[in-house]
Every structure is written in structure tokens, then in C-alpha cells.
Chains A and B, each alone.
Chain A
Amino acid sequence: MMRLRGVVVATLVLLGAMLAFGADHALGQATLVATYAIAGLGLAVIVGQAGQIVLGQGALVAVGAYVEALLAQRGVPPFISIVLAMMAGCLAGACASLPARRLGGLYFGMSTLAFAMIVEEVLTRWESLTRGGAGLSVPALGWAGMEAVTPLAQFLISAAALVLALVLCRRLCAGRIGRAWRAVREDEVAAAEACGIDLVRAKLAAFAVGGALAGLAGALYAHWIGFISPEQFGLFFSFELLMLVFIGGARHLRGAVLGALVIVSLPQFITLLRDVLPGDWGRSAGVESVLFGLVIVLVVLLRPQGIAAKGRAG
């Protein structure tokens, strides 16, 4: 019943956006919402389920995006290249989790930040492969003469990938590994000593899943944007993903979708609002950013546990 209600609400939101923005624009937004939600879902597993602080998730998305771009340029079919991008994200996530053997809390978070900086530096410096700061043009997602160039096709692909990712994450969270993640999140020492959970393996699994989803999101993002460069996956992008997860509700998988909706679509609604503001006020530089910041502060004040959480503040 809840799922049906969610589908109906999502459909109504999409139809409303189509009326407000026009079909292509609304579907373009929905595509990016779904793509960001996949990356957010990976982060929700690591942060919300396993309780690990990650400050450099953008780097894992970058790995997926670059692997996909490079393979697509060489004509590798997408059903192979996207799987390889996910595997690369998975491997990068596993690497990023290695310091968790010795570090915890904020110190581990700082190590993920350092990992992200290393990835960005490698993408910038390895010019023979990545073209450095000049960036890479990414061909349209397609195979055997068919290309996903329309907003509708892109939306359907991203939405299907998001649904699959949600189903996978739900199954994982409901299983033994999901219980292990939550035990680690609540109390690492008790999880290890009382329940016999292998902390390293649990964290590694969370990062591998989160990295694979980040890789998938990166692969799709690369095709939808059509051009990638290291600066697009910098620290601001990582913080944007982190904000997405906390606004949506880090402990709820559907929070990633709601957070992505806020992060991607809210600025667009503010743009519409700005267009109807009287006088030159709407022309002021940065007015969207100010309004966006205000709305985010309000959301955090009213729903400190995230939009997906049931309880309200106070």
C-alpha cells in the first residue's frame, strides 16, 4: 500500500513538473533526480546503515563516470561498460574503506576526504588517459544503432536503475549483512564482542555496495551530462551528496530519493519563483542560492532526522 502510494505521488509530482516546466525539462530533472538518488542510496548504505562517516563519495561517482566514459568512447556496449563502471566503483569503495581497520569516526571520515583528493588529483594528472582538466566528451548511451538521447529514454533508464538499486538495497538491509551494518552503527565494540561481527568485513561490504552504486550513478551521469572533468566531482559534489542523504533521512533508503528531489529540483522551482518576483529583485546575483539555503535550513529545523523520518522536531 505504501509502495503504491509512493508510485502515485511520484507520478503526480512528475506530471505537475511537466505542466510547470514542460515535458523535456521535467523529464530531464527527473532523470537527474533518479541518478543522484542512486548515488545517494550508496551513501545511505554507508552512512545511514553502517554508520560510517564519508566525506568523499563524489570520488567514487567520478571513478564510475570516467570508467564509463573511457569505455563508451572505445565502443564497449553499455551492458558491459556499466557493469565495469560499477565494479570500478566497488573496488574504489573497498580501497576507501581500508583505513577503517585502524581509524574510526571523524578520523576515518578525514581519510575518505583524502582518498577523494587523491582520486581528483589522479584524474587531473593522468592526462594521457583522462585528458586532465580538459575533460572528456561522453557519447550518448547506446548500442546497436539505438541511442538514449531523448529525456524520456534517459529518464526511463535512470528510473529503472534506481528501482533495481532500491530493491537490491532493501534485500541487503533486510538480511544478515544489513543487521550487521546496523549493529556496527549502534555500537562497534558490542557488535564485535557480543555478536561476533567481523567489523572489517561489514564495513568493507558497506563501502563495496556504496561504491558500486556510486559507480552506476557516475556512469549514467556521464552520459546524461555528456562532458566530464575532474572539477565536477570535487569536494562540493561530495558535500552535496552528503547533504542529500541527511535531508532525505540517512537511515531510510527512500530518503535518498527524497533528498535527491530536494537537491536537484528545489533550485529549479526557486528559479520559477524568481521569474515571477516583482522588479529587479529576481535578477539579483545568487538569489537562488540564498533561497535554496533558507529552504534547506527550514527542512533541517523541521525534520532533523530527514524528510523520510516520521518524527518532527520538538
Chain B
Amino acid sequence: MPLPRLLAGLCLFLTTLFAQGAAPGVSDREIVLGSVQDLSGPAAMLGVPVRDGMLMRIDEANAAGGVQGRRLRLVVEDSAYDPKRAVLATRKLLQRDQAFAFLANFGTPVVMATMPMIVDAGRLHLFPFSPHESTYTPLHPLKFQIFAPYQDYMEAAVRHMVQTRGYKRSCLLYQDDDYGLEVMKGVDAGLGRLGLALVEKTSYKRGATDFSAQVARLRTAGCDLVILATVVRETVAVMSEARKVGWPVDMLVTASGYSAQTHELGGAAVEGLFGISVLPHPYADGANSALADWVRRYRSRYGAEPNVWSAMGYSIADLFIRAADAAGRELSTAAFVSALEQLETTRDFFGSPAYRFSADDHLGNRHGRLAQIRGGRWEILSDYLK
């Protein structure tokens, strides 16, 4: 037999051999979970606290006896925001670790490259950090999302801001990618419902540090509200530039700019910035007793201050634990899906929204809250905007 045919036959045999007898990640004593995070790439400052928050909640659950008598084991792989590494990491989690579900996979390129592989393997794809609508629509039994789409909450937020504060000339500064375009759709829709339109819009490329041209353009257009589809560093840079040139315009940033790092980096320059929160930042000062205790435990465990990303990671793991517990001892993918679709959460000590799924809708939340930086910290100004 020719060598290539022999090798191909050998590979096919091994594939079949290894594919047989695969467990879905649930044994009598353990549930294996997988997560592909950015721990060393451009978004590591977000991915690391997400992982830490998830691990903290899982270790707490294990210390309390696990879920229905099973310990949880979260295997986290680092993609460094690289789809190629993410694909390999996902294959490892699927085949070697036999992950029952994937939690909070991070980044749109990573999610788009790995999600088909995960659901094709019959595993759950839960609550990814990606605004892409394919994470929850069209309806798929294995896909669930809790992060409100930019388009939805920015539509409500812009409408609320214009109605309550009387802005006449709204403008947009957006990142030139999927994120920026999603925000633009929401802003256009919100203004459109009020019979208004954007007066000016301008973009920047990811990684930009100089925003003088954009700020000058927006100022020339006479904007009285600038909506920012930016992330932390760019938000600080834009606000600093505006204040430097003596332009005291109001600005509203999406949840991507709602971070303690925004006021820590920006200081006085970002004072007064409006933002959208889909989960409040866990400040220790003024916290309720449960939150204060959580902050203390987090600090003690990691030697670092928690942030909104840690809280999101913790909430995601908590949501999984609740649904797995509700699914009962006979845990299967179908039982978990059914339990999650019927789960009724209430606001937790972080101030999260009440997540609701159904058999027809796997997006658990569509709303955000208005916040503002006052006295060097984010203050929540409204309830979840609808």
C-alpha cells in the first residue's frame, strides 16, 4: 500500500478511536468547564479579572460542597486575542478536557472562530464577551448571552439623555470596527425616534492615541453631546483633549468605557463623563454588606482591587451554578438548557439586572443604566433604561 494512503488510514483509525467514548464533561464527582480568555494579549487587563472572578465563585461553590455533589473545575486557556490560538485552545478544551460548557469566551474574533466548533460538538456556549448578535440570534439551543447589545442599550440611553437634558446637537466618535458600527446603529435609532439625527460623526482606528483632529472636527460642528464608542484609554484621551482645548462638552461613553480605570487614568479630565453600566463597579466605599464582604474576600485572595470585569466573571460563574443546580443531579445539556430557560434571577448584591431567558429568547438582558463620574468614581444615576 502506498505510504500516503497508509498514513491517511492510520489517521482515520486514530480519529475514530479517540472520538469514541468521549464524556460530556460531567462525571459523578466533577463538572468540567472551559473558558478561552485573553490573559496575555491586548485585552489582558480585562480577561485576567474575568478569569479571577469566575475562579473565585467556583472555588466558593466547591467549598460549599459543589453543585449537586459535583465539584466544578474551570480550565482557562489563553488566546492572547488570537483566533488561531483560540481555535487550538478550544479543541484542547473540547477533546482533552471534555468541557461540559464554555463560559465567557473573550473577544469577537475569538468567539466567531470558536463558537461554531463548540456548538457543533454539542457543548454549551454561555455568556461570551462579544457584542456580536450571532451569540444569541438566530436562536440556538446551546447559545446564551447576558450582555446587552450596544445597539439596544445605546438606543435607550441616547433617547433618555436627549429627552431629559435637552441636547440639540448630538455627535459620535466611534472606533472603526464592529463595535463602533453597532453603537452607531443604536445612536441613529435613538435619535431617529426623537426625529433627530447625528450632527457629526468621526472615527478612529483601534490603538490611536492622538484625537486632536477628531475633537477639533466635533467642536467645529458645534456638538453639545458627544457619544463615545471608545474603550478606556481612548475615552481618557478624548476627554483630556477636549478639556485641554477648553471645550466643556458633555460626553457619554458605552459600557466599554465604564471602568474604574477610566477615572483612575483620567483623573480630573474625565470628571462629569456620562457612561452606561450593565453591571455597577464594585466600590468598597458605600457598598452594601454583601458587596463589602465580597470585595474583602477578593482583595484577600488576589491582593488586588476588584473591578467591574471581576464582578462580571463572578456573576457569570454564579449564573452557571444556579442553572446547573436547578437542573438537578441528572445533569445533561438538555436539562441545563431547560433549567436556564426557566431560571428567574433577581438583582444580586452587585446591582445586576434580573436575567431572564426563555425557550424563544436566549438573550438575558437588553438594558443598561446611566452613570456619571462624580468625585473620582462612577455614580449610578438611573435604573435600567428601557
**Partner-B contacts on A (CB < 8 A):** 7, 11, 14-15, 18, 21-25, 27-29, 32, 124-125, 132-135, 137, 149-152, 155-156, 221, 224-227, 229, 231-232, 264, 267-268, 271, 275, 283, 285-286, 288-289
CB pair A25 B96 closer than 8 Å: yes
What 6 pairs between A and B have smallest CB-CB spacing?
A133-B177, A22-B95, A286-B40, A227-B112, A134-B178, A23-B18
* Chain B residues bordering chain A, tally (CB within 8 A): 51
In the bound complex, what is the Cα–Cα distance between A15 and B91 (angstroms)?
17
Asked if B95 and A232 make an inter-chain contact with CB atoms under 8 angstroms apart, the answer reads: no
Interface centre among A18, A25, A135 (most CB of B within 10 A): A25
With both beta carbons as reference points, the residue of chain B lying nearest to A121 in the complex is identified as B205
Q: Quick one: which of B76, B80, B179 has the most chain A CB within 10 A?
A: B80
Name which of B10, B12, B84, B96 has the most chain A CB atoms within 10 A of its CB.
Answer: B84
For B178, the chain A residues whose CB sits under 8 A away are 132-135, 229
Residues of A near B44 (CB, < 8 A) are 285-286
Q: Is the CB of B181 within 8 A of A134?
A: yes
In contact, B78 and A152 (Cβ under 8 angstroms)? no
A286 — nearest CB in chain B belongs to which residue?
A: B40
Least CB distance, A49 to chain B, in whole angstroms? 26
Q: A133-B176, A227-B109 are in contact. Are A25 and B92 (CB under 8 A)?
A: yes
Say how far B244's CB is from chain A's closest CB, in angstroms: 28
- Would you call B189 an interface residue if the criterion is a C-beta within 8 Å of the partner chain's C-beta atoms? no
* Cα separation A288 to B78 with both chains bound (whole Å): 8
Describe B's contact surface by its main secondary structure.
helix
Determine if B87 and A25 form an interchain contact, defined as CB atoms under 8 angstroms apart: no
- CA–CA, A301 to B370, complex, Å? 55
Give 1 or 0 for each of B15-42: 1 = CB within 8 Å of chain A CB: 1011100000000000000000001100
Which listed residue, B15, B112, B120, touches A27 by the CB 8 Å rule?
A: B15
B109 pairs with A22, CB closer than 8 A:
no
In the complex, what residue of chain A is closest to B18 when comparing beta carbons? A23
Among B11, B77, B178, residue most surrounded by chain A Cβ atoms (within 10 Å): B11
Is the beta-carbon distance between B112 and A289 smaller than 8 angstroms? no
Q: Which of B53-84 contact A (CB under 8 A)?
A: 55, 75-78, 80, 82-84
Query: Is the beta-carbon distance between A132 and B181 smaller than 8 angstroms?
Result: yes
Cβ–Cβ contact B176 & A226, under 8 A? no
Question: B385 interface residue, CB < 8 Å from A?
Answer: no
Chain A proximity of B233: nearest CB distance (Å): 16
A259 to chain B, nearest CB (A): 15
Alpha-carbon gap, A25 to B179, bound state (A): 31
Among B11, B83, B91, which residue has its beta carbon within 8 angstroms of that of A225?
B83
Residue in contact with A289 in the complex, picked from B51, B80, B87, B109, CB distance below 8 Å: B80
Contact residue among B51, B55, B96, B205 (Cβ-Cβ distance under 8 Å from A124): B205
Assembly CA distance A135 to B83 (angstroms): 12
- CB-defined contacts of A152 to chain B, threshold 8 Å: 11-12, 15
Contact B180 A133 (CB under 8 A): yes
Extra contacts, 7 of them, besides A231-B177, A271-B92, A285-B39 (Cβ < 8 A), are: A15-B14, A25-B88, A28-B91, A29-B88, A132-B181, A133-B178, A285-B78
Q: Which residue of A lies closest to B93 (CB)?
A: A25
| Selected contact of A24 from candidates B48, B80, B94, B179, CB within 8 Å | B94
B1 near A: Cβ within 8 Å?
no
- Between A and B, 5 residue pairs with Cβ closer than 8 Å are A21-B91, A28-B87, A151-B91, A226-B117, A289-B80
A233 CB → nearest B CB, Å: 11
| Minimum C-beta distance from A277 to chain B (A) | 14
B113 within 8 A of A: yes
Instruction: Assess A27 versus B85: contact at CB under 8 Å? Given A134-B178, A227-B113, A288-B78.
Output: no
Nearest A residue to B97, CB-CB: A275
| Given A224-B87, A225-B113, A271-B77, CB of A132 within 8 Å of CB of B11 | no
Q: How far is the CA of A231 from the CA of B108 in the complex (A)?
A: 11
Q: B residues engaging A (CB < 8 A)?
A: 3, 7-8, 10-12, 14-15, 17-19, 39-40, 44, 47-48, 51, 55, 75-78, 80, 82-85, 87-89, 91-92, 94-96, 108-109, 112-113, 116-117, 120, 175-181, 205-206
User: CB < 8 Å: which of B88, B89, B112 contacts A226?
Assistant: B112
Please state if A156 and B177 are interface contacts (CB–CB under 8 Å): no
Contact A28 B88 (CB under 8 A): yes
Q: Is B112 a contact partner of A25 (Cβ separation < 8 A)?
A: no
- B87 → chain A, closest Cβ, in Å? 6
Q: Which chain B positions have C-beta within 8 A of A29?
A: 88, 91
- Which of the residues B48, B84, B117 comes within 8 Å of A32, measured between beta carbons? B84
A68 to chain B, nearest CB (A): 16
Closest to A265 in B: B88
Contact between B87 and A229 (Cβ–Cβ < 8 Å)? no
When the two chains form their complex, are residues A226 and B113 in contact, meaning their CB atoms are under 8 A apart?
Answer: yes
- Are B109 and A23 in contact (CB-based, < 8 A)? no
Most buried by B among A124, A125, A224, A227: A227
Asked if residues B95 and A23 are in contact (CB atoms below 8 Å), the reply is yes
Whether the Cβ atoms of A27 and B11 lie closer than 8 Å is yes
B14 engages A225 (CB within 8 Å): no
Closest to A285 in B: B39
Q: Are A150 and B15 in contact (CB under 8 A)?
A: yes
Contacts of A288 in B (CB 8 A): 40, 78
A264 vs B295: C-alpha distance when bound (angstroms): 39
For the complex, give the distance between the alpha carbons of A224 and B11 in Å: 18
Given A134-B181, A226-B113, A226-B116, residue A21 in contact with residue B92 (CB < 8 A): yes
A285's partner among B8, B12, B48, B55 (CB-CB below 8 A) is B48
Shortest beta-carbon distance, A118 to chain B, in Å? 13
Q: Which residue of A lies closest to B175 (CB)?
A: A133
Looking across the interface, which residue of chain B has its beta carbon closest to that of A24?
B95
**Is the beta-carbon distance between A227 and B80 smaller than 8 angstroms?**
no
Task: Among A15, A21, A125, A133, find the residue whose CB has the most chain B CB atoms closer than 10 A.
Answer: A133
Assuming the contacts A28-B91, A29-B88, A134-B178, asked whether A286 and B112 have C-beta atoms less than 8 A apart, the reply is: no
